[in-house]
Amino acid sequence: MHYRGRFAPSPSGALHFGSLVAAVGSFVRARAEGGAWLVRMEDIDPPREIPGAASDILATLGAFGMRADEPVVYQSLRDTAYDRAFARLRDADLVFPCWCSRVDLEASAGIHRGACRAAPDTTRGPAWRLRAPDVDVSFIDLLQGTQAQNLRRDVGDFVIRRVEGWFAYQLAVVVDDADAAITEVVRGSDLLDSTPRQIHLQQLLGLQTPAYLHLPVVLDADGRKLSKADHARPVDRCEPLAALRMAIDFLGLEVGAGVTPAALLERAIDSFSVARLRGANGAHVGTAECET
Ligand code: GLU
């Protein structure tokens, strides 16, 4: 099958170094495989979005030499597809309405234990949760090795549609990756523990499971993941070379002497192999610091 990869930023702020690493990793991998690289804007969480961030991210990717091979997909325009998947799960009685409050969930360490079943607060709309079965979902990550999670024990019944009516990331990502015929998901290892939920949803919906390759995440000096929510400093699209070199180096690939983003990416593509990625061969994952 022809390789199809993707980068799926959330427009909750400008592109920062951590997301640049995920963008470069997915782009270089797709090109090294002679495949297509797509971009999907994950704009289904309005409270966390910043106006203008989506176009800003796309402009930054362009300045770093990365342009999607197909039109950018916006999750905010894909409710019909999510609704179809949701209806299918509901018709199969795999989901249930949940009125649990934040306090209920905190009392059970964030895992749904059915507190709302005793006294549903029907004065407000429910969230919809997928029943988590008592099964171990396992997969082989191309970089992180074998992963396994028991959905009921480790995650619990999880939200696929939020109280406000928005579809949750776990459902949207599965529908979108399948509709775009993504063959391999390359993203940060902060999403490693979402993957079993996504594989389970793929199985319920009769969708193909892509291959997975989770890259090490960039941590700040205090050992926390850089995230837009914490106002990690955006990369400067007027000066892409230094940050691009640093991202390629962080991934463990060869940083050439190129003086354009395209030339730097070309060298990284030529030098690409999963075995030389940072985090391969059991190296400790996710402890690098970044000065940006
Ligand atoms: N939108 C997610 C993020 O920005 C990435 C989702 C994914 O790659 O599956 O962290």
Eight-class DSSP state of 155: I
The residue type at 89:
L
Q: What are residue 96's phi and psi, to 5 degrees?
A: -145, 155
Half-sphere exposure of 206 (CA within 13 A, CB side): 4
Q: Is the CB of 177 under 6 A from ligand 1?
A: no
With a CB cutoff of 8 Å and minimum separation 6, the contacts of 219 are: 225, 226, 286, 287, 288, 289, 290
235 or 106, higher pLDDT: 235
User: Residue 292: what pLDDT?
Assistant: 41
Phi/psi zone of residue 52: left (φ > 0), alpha (ψ -120 to 50 degrees), beta? left
Residue 105: how many other CB atoms lie within 10 Å: 17
Ligand 1 atom nearest the C-alpha of 42 is 1
Q: What is the pLDDT of residues 104-132, one digit of tens each?
A: 777 777 777 666 666 667 777 899 999 99
Mutate to test the pocket of ligand 1, among 75, 175, 187 (most ligand atoms within 8 A of CB): 187
Q: Is the CB of 8 under 6 A from ligand 1?
A: yes
Output the average pLDDT for the chain.
Answer: 90
Long-range contact pairs involving 207-211 (C-beta distance under 8 Å, separation at least 24): 207/174, 207/175, 207/178, 208/178, 209/139, 210/177, 210/182, 210/183, 210/184, 210/185, 211/142, 211/183, 211/184, 211/185
Q: Which two tokens stand for residue 57?
A: 């991210």
User: Residue 118: what pLDDT?
Assistant: 64
Q: Is the CB of 54 under 6 A from ligand 1?
A: no
Q: Is the CB of 213 under 6 A from ligand 1?
A: no
User: Residue 281: what pLDDT?
Assistant: 63
Q: Is the CB of 157 under 6 A from ligand 1?
A: no
Predicted confidence (pLDDT) at residue 150 exceeds the cutoff of 60: yes
Q: What is the whole-number distance in angstroms between the Cα of residue 122 and the centre of ligand 1?
A: 32
- Percent of the chain scored above 70 by pLDDT? 90
Q: What is the pLDDT of residues 253-287, one digit of tens each?
A: 999 999 999 999 999 999 999 999 988 765 444 44
Predicted confidence (pLDDT) at residue 222 exceeds the cutoff of 70: yes
99 or 144, higher pLDDT: 144
Could you tell me the sign of the dihedral formed by the alpha carbons of 155, 174, 269, 69, in that order? Answer: negative
Eight-class DSSP state of 185: E
Mean pLDDT of 207-214: 98
User: Residue 228: what pLDDT?
Assistant: 61
Mean pLDDT of 39-44: 97
Predicted confidence (pLDDT) at residue 153 exceeds the cutoff of 60: yes
Long-range contact pairs involving 46-51 (C-beta distance under 8 Å, separation at least 24): 46/166, 48/10, 48/12, 48/229, 49/10, 49/11, 49/12, 50/11, 50/12, 50/13
Q: Is the CB of 13 under 6 A from ligand 1?
A: no
User: Residue 291: what pLDDT?
Assistant: 43
Predicted confidence (pLDDT) at residue 15 exceeds the cutoff of 90: yes
